[in-house]
Structure 1
Amino acid sequence: MTSRRRVASIILSALAGISVVGAPTVAAAHPHIFVDAKFEAVAAADGSLAELRDTWRFDEVFSSSVLLDYDKNGNNTLDAAELAAVAKTVRESLGQYNYYTNVTINGKAVTLAKPDVLHGAYENGSLVLSFTQKPAGKTPLKGLIVFGVYDPTLYTALDFADDADLKTSGDGFNRCSRKVVRPDSKEILAENQAMLTTMFFNDPMGTDYSQIVATRLEVRC
């Protein structure tokens, strides 16, 4: 593998949460991958959660690195088989992070099933991945439901450019109110300076910082 192809492999591995030699060790303070994200929660007519839909469009720098590593036929794009290989790698590896998708109902985490498949596309120089997750069991929408899509390691920055990029659909949500919450990270940092030690940033999996600063969709039914 050439040095450039190895770099691409390391980046994709970092996205997938795989520990590899050469991967950055201090991810919390410096995201390395940037994603324009869209999220949709779908409710069934009986008022239960039916499924969650995520779409991620990766930045051009990361996308070009993936292209270097997965463009096996050298035609400067990702064909169907190559996209399937990328999606398969991410599907198999991101499970430990629940595909960055988190749901709580009245403070209790909802268990989500692994997506059957991730769909890939390569559009205007950007890698796009989309997938659907379903609750592992019947999940009535009662009380405060919080939907969050974020990387707990803070290596990947998932950005929802507009509030409309976090949405609900389905008759089961008709009786619910909704709001998008965008925490002010500067205020949070100022209020928690005593906690922000080197150990805090080097051990993001042991803290709630990523969850605290993440944009989220709150629904009350």
Structure 2
Amino acid sequence: MRLTRYLRAGGWKGAALLLLGMLSANVSAHPHGWIDLSVRVMTDEQGRVEGLRQTWRMDPFYSLVVLEELQQVEGESLDVALDQLGHEIRDNLANQGYFTEVYLNDERQGLGEVTDYTVMERDGRVSFMFILPLQTPQLLTGGILRYQVFDPSYYLEVVHEADQGEPLESALVLSSEQECRLDILPADPDPERVMKAAMLDVDEQATPGLGRHFAETGEVACP
């Protein structure tokens, strides 16, 4: 998904054009935007997984462009503009499965509709927070839950929150006190795919599904 698809055609069209202009002047390969991800696996009292609470922190450059444009929208406060942006983001992501795939014991899980979400600004970064429910809660005990969050076109790169290349403990947490092992597994793309991604220009469309090969995998294993 292009970054500009997050911006509505009216009050935010200027931000879209500015963003594309600056990107085309400085970037010549995929990805063109970055998201820092943190996930809380939500469980109920029976130990069933109900969904994933995700926080996406947009990269500083994208955040700056969006915030500057939103502050220029006449007749709306920044909070109101951010709320509207959150609605646009949610609607766009709904058409693409919220960029998220979830598996339990290698069986893909159906996803529900996102109704709990918000957008806010913190320390100059725009954050989109939402709860992505499973269609049917699943018992986690004795199983392995895996998820990936990625833009299929690899226009955006999604990586877990990290410090000096190492994922933070807060990047993947479990809401219950179950004895589970939590891991964030790095992507291991084929060198040929890395080269192809590096050669894509800002206006080129990546092969559908390219982003999957660059996606980290969150894993929750509960004995």
**What value does the CA root-mean-square deviation take over the aligned residues?**
3.4
Structure 2 unmatched ranges of 5 or more: 1-10
The corresponding residue for 1:220 is 221
Q: CA deviation at 1:10?
A: 5.8
Instruction: Tell me the percent identity.
Output: 22
Partner of 2:4: none
| 2:51 maps to amino acid | E
**CA positional deviation for 1:210:** 2.5
Contact 1:40 1:54 in 2 (8 A): yes
Q: Provide Cα deviations, 1:28-49, integer angstroms capped at 9, x if missing partner.
A: x511111222111122221211
Native 8 Å contact 1:181 1:218 kept in 2: yes
Contact 2:70–2:78, Cα closer than 8 Å, also in 1: no
- Write the deviation string for residues 73-127 of structure 1: whole angstroms up to 9, x where unpaired: 499xx62111111101101111122222221112221111121142111223221
Q: Displacement, 1:53? A: 0.7
- In 2, the alpha carbon distance for the partners of 1:194 and 1:9 equals 28
Q: Is the 8 A contact 2:147 2:219 kept in 1?
A: yes
1:6-36 deviation per Cα after TM superposition (whole angstroms, max 9, x unaligned): 3523689x9xxxxxxxx99xx9x51111122
- What pairs with 1:83-98 in structure 2 (closer than 5 Å)? 83-98=82-97
Aligned to 1:8: 15
Name the aligned partner's letter for residue 41 of structure 1: V
Per-residue CA deviation, residues 152-198 of structure 1 (Å, 9 max, x unaligned), is 21111122112411222214xx143332211344xx326x78998x8
Which residue of structure 1 aligns with residue 106 of structure 2? Answer: 107
**Alpha carbons of structure 1 residues 107 and 68: separation in structure 2 relative to 1, 3 Å:** same
Contact 1:182/1:214 (<8 A) preserved: yes
TM-score by length of 2: 0.73
Taking the aligned partners of 2:18 and 2:96, their CA distance within structure 1 comes to: 16
Counterpart contact for 1:42–1:51, Cα < 8 Å: yes
Q: Out of 204, 209, 214, which is 2:207 matched to? A: 204
Cross-structure match for 1:48 = 48
1:67 and 2:74 are equivalent in the alignment: no
Cα deviation for residue 52 of structure 1 reads 0.9
Greater percentage in strand: 2
Q: 1:11 to 1:89 in 2, by over 3 A?
A: farther
Which blocks of at least 5 consecutive residues in structure 1 are unaligned?
15-22
How many angstroms apart in 1 are the aligned matches of 2:207 and 2:14? 23
SS in structure 2 at match of 1:93? helix
